Structure 1
Amino acid sequence: MEIRTGELSNPHVIKLLQTHHNDMLKHSPVESVHALDVSKLTHPNITFYSLWIDNNLAGVGALKALNTTHGEIKSMRTSSNYLRQGIAAKLLTHIVEQATLRGYKKLSLETGTAEAFLPAQNLYTQFGFKECEPFGDYEPDPYSLFMSKML
């Protein structure tokens, strides 16, 4: 297992991010989908991670700096061939560690409210995230669940 920083030009990463975005559109209206495309993930305040097993892409995730003490988890997705194998937990552990190393005091995220998002909600809850009010530029939305954790 190897976690790499970047890789946004890798065709496997691009395909997984497109799959992620298309899947979000199946469960939420377009105005409620907050998944970032490749161009937005290249922003300097975002660090993108990809997890590889034997040179096969297993999952992706990103850490966005909201300010000097608050980060946001973005674009968490496991490749279909690696579902239910602990990939998301490994990426989430890495992102939490990176946020801690940066000195963040709080880590937040937005996920969906549809049944398809229950595995993600359960994972975040297991990691100590709790439901919270919208943060950053988010507005209240029935399709969005906001969660945060103090580090």
Structure 2
Amino acid sequence: MKIVQDDLTDPNVIALVRAHLLELAGHSPEESCHALDLDALRGPGMTFWSVWEGDTIAGCGALKALDDTHGEIKSMRTAGTHLRRGVAAKLLDHIIHEARTRGFERLSLETGPHDLFAPARSLYARFGFETCPPFGPYREDPYSVFMTRALDGPEDYNAPSKSSCRQAS
């Protein structure tokens, strides 16, 4: 598998992002859906990656700079053809490494509370993310679970994180 920084112009990438948005829209009311569309994923402070196996799209994800020390994971998605093949773990490892390289001290994310999102929450927990209060522009919402981790912890993501669950702003 190969991870590449992406400009979101490839039809396969566009289709994956659109499928992601369509599925998420079915699980939350519009005011509680925080998934980003293509224009937002191309916006300032955003870096988007796609994961490829040969010529086949395997997944995608993005890193949004909230400020100089805090980043947010956005639009993590594994293509249906590549579920349970390590795509999300490989991409999450890449995003965490990139966040560290950029000098971020904290990395956070918002995901859903439904069973559909249980594998994602489990993956994030395995990488040291812990539930936390809303951060940045988010507010308490029954359709959201917020998670965060400090980036001063060990590189071994299967080990418990040294992060504290404090509100990050």
Instruction: Decide: shared fold, TM above 0.5.
Output: yes
Tell me which stretches of 4 or more aligned residues in structure 1 moved more than 2 Å. none
Number of the residue aligned with 1:42: 42
8 Å Cα contact 1:51-1:59 kept in structure 2: yes
Specify the alignment match of 2:132 in structure 1. 132
- d(CA) in 2 for partners of 1:73 and 1:13? 17
Structure 1: give runs of 5+ residues left out of the alignment. none
Structure 2 unaligned residues grouped into runs of 5+: 152-169
For the aligned residue pairs, the C-alpha RMSD in angstroms reads 0.7
| Map of 1:52 onto structure 2 | 52
Name the counterpart of 1:95: 95
In structure 1, the residue matched to 2:162 is none
State the shift of 1:133 in Å.
0.6
Identify, as 1 or 2, the structure richer in helix: 1
Note if 1:64 corresponds to 2:64: yes
Whichever residue aligns with residue 116 of structure 2, its letter is A
Does the alignment pair 1:111 with 2:115? no
Q: Give TM-score scaled by structure 1 length.
A: 0.98
Distance in 1, Cα, partners of 2:24 & 2:31: 11
- Distance apart, 1:117 and its partner CA: 0.5
Aligned amino acid, residue 96 of structure 1: I
Bigger relative CO (Cα 8 Å, ≥ 6 apart) = 1
Amino acid at match of 1:111: T
The one-letter code of the counterpart of 1:79 is A
The secondary structure found in structure 2 opposite 1:27 is coil
Deviation at 1:2, TM superposition (A): 1.2
Measure the CA separation in 2 of the matches of 1:146 and 1:27: 16
**More strand per residue: 1 or 2?**
1
TM-score normalised according to structure 2 size: 0.88
Residue 149 of structure 2 is matched in structure 1 by 149
